[in-house]
């Protein structure tokens, strides 16, 4: 696939082809990501610039039944031309993928990006993308010179989904009749996809991928509201279910990371909170990953299957300027070191609880 072109020239080349220009011999090698210039004085190697800081990205926030809907999108615009794509995006690992840019290495006339200036291509063989937590769907926009096949695997490396491009070639002037560039190819699996292998030509350099999109698999959740020992389960079909789920999750993700409490949480402490305080508890059917925002230059993520928010007693207060809540979370059990939360997000949750008739003044 003629996806790259000679630096500062209008001549396109295939991988390994030598272009004879006046006084200069050029060679491009997609596998090494280098442009080799051989003037009369000898051979010189010029490497492309390194990557810019990648935008924060996390696989989070999902509601039941939304597998295959639009989720987080990676457009690769934060990468420099010819940089190898590996671990720039949190929760994802790429193999045999390189970013290329319009007006630099990408032949944007015959392979225009779906958005922006950047795409990635299969550098040296089939492209592999591995997810830190399984996703429910994967899709992207492809321009290709060989038929593209996307295969999804579960955490046991068993194939669970597959899809192929409609044509064998939609690349520029050589495309098949009826084919257009940037074809959408997508796969879904309700129980989760742990990795995808995207294959064009066996040796690579055969497709451009843009606007990679994922969604988390649908994870069921129970919402329990407790007040002084009495438990009410919020029905998923109720009008307030979605608002309460979103509100409770936002209380965790917006919690003050600087106000982590030095508490040792024992099972009997949690039992006491559930019996004697006002609380909201979310219990997920499967682990999910949530972003807690940035701490310094790093995006902090946690994996959990339960959230407990206390709103009364020594752990919380729902009225007045001093209103606050204590947020516990865990995977399998609640862990030590809960967070506090106060402000508009907490106010929104308590308003929803009052609107549902669960919390009274």
More confident position, 130 or 32: 130
Residue 22 lies in a domain: no
Terminal Cα-to-Cα distance of the chain (whole angstroms): 68
Q: 64 with 118, same domain? A: yes
- Same domain flag for 209 and 268: no
CATH number at residue 173: 2.60.120
Q: Is it the case that residue 198 has pLDDT exceeding 90?
A: yes
Q: Residue 321: its pLDDT value, please?
A: 67
Which range in 3-17, 193-207, 208-222, 257-271 is most confidently predicted, on average pLDDT?
193-207
Residue 165 and residue 306 share a domain? no
**What average pLDDT does the segment 181-210 reach?**
94
Residue 196 lies in a domain: yes
Contact indicator for 138, 154 with CB cutoff of 8 Å: no
Q: Give yes or no for residue 302 having a pLDDT over 60.
A: yes
- Would the pLDDT of 51 be above 70? no
Mean of pLDDT values over 314-322 = 76
SS3 242: helix
Domain match, 210 and 227 both = no
301 pLDDT above the threshold of 70 = yes
Residue 143 pLDDT exceeds 90: yes
In a domain, 360, yes or no: no
Among the candidates 215, 250, 283, a domain finishes at: 215
Give the C-alpha distances (Å, rounded to integers) separating 84 from 44, 47, 98.
21, 12, 4
- 78, 205: one domain: yes
What whole-number percentage of the chain has pLDDT above 90? 37
Residue 38, domain member (yes or no): no
Same structural domain for residues 186 and 237? no
Q: Based on the fold, state whether residues 181 and 226 are members of the same structural domain.
A: no
Residue % of the chain over a pLDDT of 70: 73
Higher-confidence residue of 122 and 156: namely 122
pLDDT at 155 over 70: yes
Question: Is residue 10 situated within a structural domain?
Answer: no
Whole-model pTM: value is 0.55
Same domain (yes/no): 132, 251: no
255 shares a domain with 179: no
Question: Which among 215, 247, 277 is the end of a domain?
Answer: 215
- Which of the four pLDDT bands, split at 50, 70 and 90, describes residue 71? low
Q: Rounded mean pLDDT of the chain? A: 77
**Assigned domain for 122 exists:** yes
Residues 249 and 308 in one domain: yes
Domain count, the chain: 2
Q: Is 89 helix (H, G, I), strand (E, B) or coil?
A: coil
Residue 282 pLDDT grade (very low, low, confident, very high; cuts 50, 70, 90):
very high
pLDDT reported for residue 285: 85
Q: What is the pLDDT of residue 315?
A: 81
Does any domain span residue 39?
no
Range of the domain at 294: 221-355
The verdict on 206 and 234 lying in the same domain is no
Are residues 277 and 311 in contact, defined by beta-carbon separation less than 8 angstroms? yes
Q: What is residue 141's predicted lDDT score, i.e. its pLDDT? A: 97
Task: Concatenate the DSSP letters of all residues of 314-349 into one string.
Answer: GG-B-SSTT-BEEEEEESSSB-S--EEE-SHHHHHH
Give the confidence band of 297 by pLDDT, cuts at 50, 70, 90: low
What is the average pLDDT across 38-48? Answer: 33
Radius of gyration of the chain (CA): 26
Same domain, 191 and 246: no
**36 part of a folded domain:** no
Domain edge (last residue) among 199, 215, 231: 215
């Amino acid at each position: 696939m003629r996806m790259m072109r000679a630096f500062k020239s209008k001549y396109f080349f295939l991988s390994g082809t030598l272009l004879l220009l006046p006084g200069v011999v050029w060679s491009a090698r997609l596998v090494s990501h280098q442009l080799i210039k051989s003037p009369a004085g000898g051979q010189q190697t010029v490497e492309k610039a390194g990557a810019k800081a990648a935008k924060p990205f996390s696989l989070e926030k999902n509601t039941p039944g939304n597998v295959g809907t639009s989720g987080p999108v990676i457009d690769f615009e934060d990468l420099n031309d010819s940089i190898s794509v590996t671990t720039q995006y949190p929760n994802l690992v790429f193999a045999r993928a390189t970013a290329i840019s319009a007006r630099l290495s990408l032949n944007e006339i015959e392979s225009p990006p779906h958005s922006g200036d950047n795409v990635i291509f299969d550098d040296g063989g089939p492209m592999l993308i591995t997810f830190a937590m399984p996703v429910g769907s994967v899709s992207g926009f492809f321009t290709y010179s060989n038929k593209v096949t996307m295969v999804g695997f579960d955490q046991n490396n068993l194939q669970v989904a597959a899809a192929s491009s409609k044509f064998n070639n939609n690349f520029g002037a050589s495309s098949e009749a009826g084919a257009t560039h940037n074809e959408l190819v997508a796969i879904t699996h309700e129980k989760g996809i742990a990795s995808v292998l995207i294959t064009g030509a066996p040796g690579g350099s055969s497709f451009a991928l843009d606007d990679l999109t994922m969604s988390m698999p649908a994870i069921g959740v129970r919402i329990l509201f407790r007040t002084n020992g009495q438990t009410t389960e919020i029905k998923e079909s109720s009008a307030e279910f979605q608002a309460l789920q979103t509100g409770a999750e936002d209380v965790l993700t917006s919690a003050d990371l600087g106000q982590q409490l030095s508490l040792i949480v024992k099972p009997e402490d949690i039992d006491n909170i559930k019996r004697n305080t006002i609380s909201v508890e979310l219990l997920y059917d499967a682990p999910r990953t949530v972003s807690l925002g940035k701490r310094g230059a790093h995006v902090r993520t946690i994996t959990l299957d339960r959230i407990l928010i206390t709103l009364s007693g020594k752990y919380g207060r729902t009225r007045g300027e001093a209103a606050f809540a204590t947020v516990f979370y865990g995977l399998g059990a609640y862990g030590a070191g809960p967070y506090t939360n106060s402000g508009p997000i907490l106010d929104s949750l308590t308003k929803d609880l009052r609107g549902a008739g669960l919390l009274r003044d």
